[in-house]
Amino acid sequence: MGLLVLVVLWLLGYALGGASMTWAATRSFQMQVQTQCSYTRYPGLCVQSLKEFQDHPLDIMTALVNRTVSETRLPNSYFGTRSSHLEAQEAERVLSVTDYCKNLMSMSLKRLDQSLSALEDSPRKNKHDIQTWLSAALTFQQACKDSTDSLGLSGDLMPRISEKMDYLSQLASNSLALVSRITHDYGTKLKNSTKRRRAEEKSQGFPKWVSAKDRKLLQTSTIKANAVVAKDGTGNYQTISEAINAAPGNRFVIYVKAGVYKEKIRSNKNGITLIGDGKYSTIIAGDDSVAGGSSMPGSATFTITGDDFIARDIGFQNTAGPGGEQALALYVASDHSVFYRCSIAGYQDTLYALALRQFYRECDIYGTIDFIFGNAAAVFQSCSLVLRKPRGDSYNVILANGRDDPGQNTGFSVQSCRITASSDFSPVMHSYNSYLGRPWKQYSRTVVMESSIGDVISSRGWVEWPGEGSYAKSLYFAEYSNTGPGAGTSNRVKWPGFHVIGPSEAVKFTVGNFIAGNSWLPSTGVTFISGLG
């Protein structure tokens, strides 16, 4: 049914039903609906979603987000199933996925509620925040769908949840499409002036969203901790988990003395700060893996979904090895999260940068296949991305971005990094193909700029996602001003979505513009460059 037909039928319904609004007011509102919904990916659903507001029309964006919220409030019973017909192992896998989806829906609702509040306050002023939170809500919905689809079990529960996630994703997509059209009178000029950079350097180069207090915290050599963790009993706690459990939910600094802490940690608390004795001295290690029976997200050594997380001088490892298949060291869905001078080590799927705004500075990240993946808006600055020897005759891929909707303000930006092979891989690296990235989802977005690319990287640079050649048109992969033996672009892929860009385009993917870092990073005290180098 065409969009115009839906609108006409709606208007007729008003007339026959004796709507409380005048005909002129009703028609004016519905013409606005028709116009606005035409900008969305799912215009028919957009019109239908607004029917409930016909007697008391709200701002259209607010109304769409309200509808998404109401549809996302699923009762726990929605995810229930009679598992008597399933074998014990299958029943356990189903329970793992349904529990994960419940958690993701809770995370999605949190971001939708934040979006509503920001819309009511000022759509223009809060545009970037609203885009970020709606993008995250959609990402969480798709993560649930991916988990249900991956099971491949018979029965109606998994397909029902998958279809529901598709529906919720369409609702969120429509909201996001309209928010993306907001014109705002602040911050529209892309910032990269030398004067601004120098001013930021004087403030230790952190985005504004990092408070002065947090900035000092990250830079100081003297640690004023709320709790101390030490394996030898010389601290307040002997495990990191105990210290995190003691945190009140605002900024809480935990100093973790040198040692290997074999823990599996999951936290949704805001304001956690972990400070270690060095990226290779204080290590959090686990060895769960998909090959060992875990789910992909469940394999993570460290999971953080609370906002404003900071880690400094600490390491996150998954030691399952190349035979573990998917085995996460770190799972991050924390808005305004910062990782400074950290090591993140694994093989396949090392770092799941799932959603929201993330910043990685001077980190060493190791892996083989898709070892940085997810759908965050993440900037990796002055990091070492280290390729390890893959299993069997496989190939290596660094970045697998999962941007699933053109309205999402997400993607991976790699700036001033060093891309190289590990010491054990270097002697045999030319026996394998290694790539900068591949498109996990249809609108995957990845930019590599001002970085040193070693000859470990194949001359074509990028590789297709298996069976998804059509993504080459809708993805956005770009390179700018890279150096090193692997940086030549003459033999790069010839996809419509691949670009060699100039500074006017590259500046869109800097800390200041891509993750609005000038508004939150300065408070953390992490060194950063706001614009291009």
| One domain, residues 152 and 228 | no
Clarify whether 370 is annotated catalytic.
yes
* Active-site residue, selected from the candidate residues 308, 313, 370, 405: 370
Q: How confident is the model at residue 59 (pLDDT cuts 50, 70, 90)?
A: confident
Domain residue limits at 123: 24-79+89-181
Q: Is 190 inside a domain boundary? A: no
Please name every residue paired with 331 in a beta bridge, in sequence order, or none if there are none. Answer: 303, 352
Position 57 scores a pLDDT of: 59
pLDDT in tens, 103-150: 999 999 999 999 999 999 999 999 999 999 999 999 999 999 999 998
| One domain, residues 347 and 485 | yes
| One domain, residues 299 and 430 | yes
Domain total in the chain: 2
> Taking the CB of residue 475, how many other CB atoms lie within 10 A of it?
27
| One domain, residues 296 and 165 | no
Average of per-residue pLDDT across 83-92: 67
| One domain, residues 225 and 177 | no
Using DSSP's 3-state secondary structure scheme, residue 390 falls into coil
Q: Is 465 inside a domain boundary? A: yes
Q: How far is CA 184 from CA 84, 127, 330, in A?
A: 55, 8, 36
CATH of the domain at 72: 1.20.140.40
Share of the chain above pLDDT 90, in %: 70
Position 30 scores a pLDDT of: 76
Highest-scoring range by mean pLDDT, 84-93, 405-414, 516-525 = 405-414
Question: Can you give the pTM of this predicted structure?
Answer: 0.90
Q: Assign 3-class secondary structure to 2-26.
A: CHHHHHHHHHHHHHHHCCCCCHHHH
Q: Is 531 inside a domain boundary? A: no
The strands making up 434-437's β-sheet, listed across from edge to edge, are 265-267, 302-304, 330-332, 351-353, 369-374, 396-401, 434-437
Question: Largest Cα–Cα distance in the chain?
Answer: 79
Burial class (CB in 10 A: 0-12, 13-18, 19+), 18: exposed
| One domain, residues 142 and 225 | no
Q: Is 208 inside a domain boundary? A: no
| One domain, residues 137 and 234 | no
| One domain, residues 468 and 331 | yes
Domain boundary among 127, 156, 181: 181
Query: CA torsion, points 315, 287, 395, 376, in degrees to nearest 10?
Result: -60
Backbone angles phi, psi at 374, to 5 degrees: 130, -165
Lowest-confidence pick of 180-194, 216-230, 513-527: 180-194
pLDDT in tens, 139-176: 999 999 999 998 876 667 888 899 999 999 999 999 99
| One domain, residues 95 and 241 | no
Q: Is 210 inside a domain boundary? A: no
Q: How confident is the model at residue 93 (pLDDT cuts 50, 70, 90)?
A: confident
Domain boundary among 136, 160, 181: 181
Domain boundary among 155, 181, 207: 181
On the question of pLDDT at 94 being above 70, the answer is yes
Position 108 scores a pLDDT of: 97
Position 215 scores a pLDDT of: 63
pLDDT in tens, 2-57: 555 444 444 444 444 444 456 565 667 778 888 889 999 999 999 998 887 766 65
375 vs 513: which has the higher pLDDT: 375
Q: Is 381 inside a domain boundary? A: yes
pLDDT in tens, 37-50: 999 999 999 999 88
| One domain, residues 147 and 242 | no
Average of per-residue pLDDT across 283-295: 95
Cβ-based neighbours of 371, under 8 Å, separated by 6 or more: 346, 347, 348, 349, 350, 351, 365, 397, 398
On the question of pLDDT at 389 being above 90, the answer is yes
* Residue in 417, 304, 307, 303 with CA at minimum distance from that of residue 357: 307
Q: What DSSP string runs through 159-223?
A: HHHHHHHHHHHHHHHHHHHHHTT---SSS-SPP--HHHHHHHHHTTT--TTS-HHHHHHHH-SS-
Q: How far is CA 485 from CA 257, 418, 419, in A?
A: 40, 12, 11
Q: Is 16 inside a domain boundary? A: no
| One domain, residues 374 and 489 | yes
Q: How confident is the model at residue 527 (pLDDT cuts 50, 70, 90)?
A: confident
CATH of the domain at 514: 2.160.20.10
Position 267 scores a pLDDT of: 96
| One domain, residues 162 and 286 | no
Q: Is 36 inside a domain boundary? A: yes
Q: Assign 3-class secondary structure to 237-305.
A: ECCHHHHHHCCCCCCEEEEECCEEEECCEEECCCCEEEECCCCCCEEEEECCCCCCCCCCHHHCCEEEC
